[in-house]
């Protein structure tokens, strides 16, 4: 199966240089790489062109998590079967793309995602989040797994994920105007249509964020907005199945060993996540100006 790489960019900075270096080092020389740049002002697009990537420029106001990635798929070479999405701050490890594509040997796999390891500067809080959400165990989920694992059935991250292009187009791709979680939206549609979602732990990238408490609030506000709009996902797959409580206790055990001084900050972060999510899920009851102020992705509210 032939694949290509699609990367949305905006002011990628130094970490984008690291990502480019590993892409050039670890992927086939003839790999087609499509970059969609949203008006970067720091030379991000120029670096991509120097690396030999194909670059399309759009304005920052045109960017949308779903719509921009749909544009990348529309640019796919005619002979490609798979699109691999990567974010500009995800640094691929050796063999990661090839291992991810191998999941599509199962013809019922519509999408697959890889393991995200923390960056070298990750705080203990961020290190734990990656180890909790991205384990060393492979799995493939179908609709039959929803009763057991709930929302995790359709969890996927476009920071490093691949899609079978024929199935992607069959199901209509990503929603063209979503605040985030376009990946979960598609995975939900795919699973309901009888397809599978695969997690490939051997396919690895370095990707993590050291969010502040306020950033966690805003990020979870947006997640709440998504779930408030797309209620069919919870209706079909249920909730997180107690994953929130598991996460908090797992984080506490991890920080007691690896960063006890971070425990107060972790408690504040978790409280902010809960508050942000609940507010976001009820965004329709809030004044429009509040939604924009509380959101991480303010362009969505334009």
pLDDT tens track for 100-125: 999 999 999 999 999 999 999 999 99
The sign of the CA dihedral 33, 17, 71, 86 is positive
Q: Name the average pLDDT for the chain.
A: 96
Q: What is the pLDDT of residue 240?
A: 67
Start-to-end Cα distance in the chain: 40
* Secondary structure (DSSP) of 10-49: SS-HHHHHHHHHHHHHHS-TT--EEEEE---SSSHHHHHH
pLDDT digit string, tens, across residues 230-281: 999 999 998 766 788 899 999 999 999 999 999 999 999 999 999 999 999 9
User: If you compute the radius of gyration of the chain from its CA atoms, what whole number of angstroms results?
Assistant: 19
Mean pLDDT of 2-14: 97
Predicted TM-score of the model (pTM): 0.96
What residues contact residue 96 under an 8 Å CB cut-off, 6+ apart? 26, 114, 160, 203, 204, 205
> Which of these, 179, 195, 202, lies nearest to 294 by C-alpha position?
179
Backbone φ, ψ for residue 282 (5° rounding): -110, 35
Q: Return all residues near 16 (Cβ < 8 A) that are at least 6 apart.
A: 9, 44, 47, 88, 89
Task: Write down the pLDDT at residue 181.
Answer: 97
CA distance 128 to 287: 36
CA dihedral in degrees (32, 180, 113, 51; nearest 10)?
30
What 3-state class would DSSP assign to 126? helix
Q: Determine contact, residues 109/164, Cβ cutoff 8 Å.
A: yes
Neighbours of 212 (CB within 10 A): 13
Q: 31-40, 164-173, 233-242: which has the minimum mean pLDDT?
A: 233-242
| pLDDT single digits (tens) 71-107 | 999 999 999 999 999 999 999 999 999 999 999 999 9
Mean pLDDT of 39-55: 97
Q: Is the pLDDT of residue 163 over 80?
A: yes
In order of 102, 116, 238, 245, the CA distances from 241 in angstroms are: 29, 22, 8, 9
Nearest-angstrom CA–CA distance, 86 and 212: 23
Closest CA relative to residue 167, chosen from 82, 236, 284 = 82
What does the alpha-carbon distance between residue 176 and residue 178 come to, in Å, rounded to a whole number? 6
């Amino acid at each position: 199966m032939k694949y290509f790489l699609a990367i949305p960019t905006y002011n990628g900075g130094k970490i984008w240089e690291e990502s480019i270096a590993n892409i050039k080092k670890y992927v086939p020389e003839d790999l087609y790489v499509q970059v969609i740049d949203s008006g970067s002002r720091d030379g991000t697009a120029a670096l991509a062109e120097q690396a030999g990537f194909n670059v399309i420029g759009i304005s920052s106001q045109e960017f949308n998590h779903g719509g921009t990635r749909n544009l990348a798929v529309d640019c796919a070479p005619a002979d490609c079967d798979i699109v691999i999405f990567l974010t500009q701050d995800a640094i691929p490890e050796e063999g990661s793309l090839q291992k991810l594509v191998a999941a599509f040997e199962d013809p019922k796999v519509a999408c697959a995602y890889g393991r995200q390891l923390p960056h070298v500067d990750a705080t203990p809080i961020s290190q734990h989040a990656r180890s909790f959400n991205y384990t060393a165990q492979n799995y493939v989920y179908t609709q039959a797994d929803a009763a057991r694992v709930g929302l995790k059935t359709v969890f996927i991250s476009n920071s490093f994920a691949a899609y079978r292009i024929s199935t992607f187009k069959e199901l209509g791709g990503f929603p063209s105007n979503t605040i985030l979680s376009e990946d979960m939206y598609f995975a939900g549609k795919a699973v309901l249509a009888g397809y599978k979602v695969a997690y490939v732990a051997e396919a690895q990238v370095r990707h993590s964020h050291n969010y502040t408490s306020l950033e966690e609030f805003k990020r979870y506000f947006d997640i709440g907005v998504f779930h408030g709009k797309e209620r069919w996902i919870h209706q079909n797959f249920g909730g997180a199945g107690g994953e929130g409580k598991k996460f908090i206790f797992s984080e506490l055990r991890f920080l007691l060993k690896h960063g006890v001084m971070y425990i107060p900050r972790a408690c504040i972060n978790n409280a902010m996540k809960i508050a942000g999510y609940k507010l976001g899920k009820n965004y329709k009851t809030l004044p429009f100006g509040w939604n924009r102020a509380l959101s991480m992705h303010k362009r969505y509210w334009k």
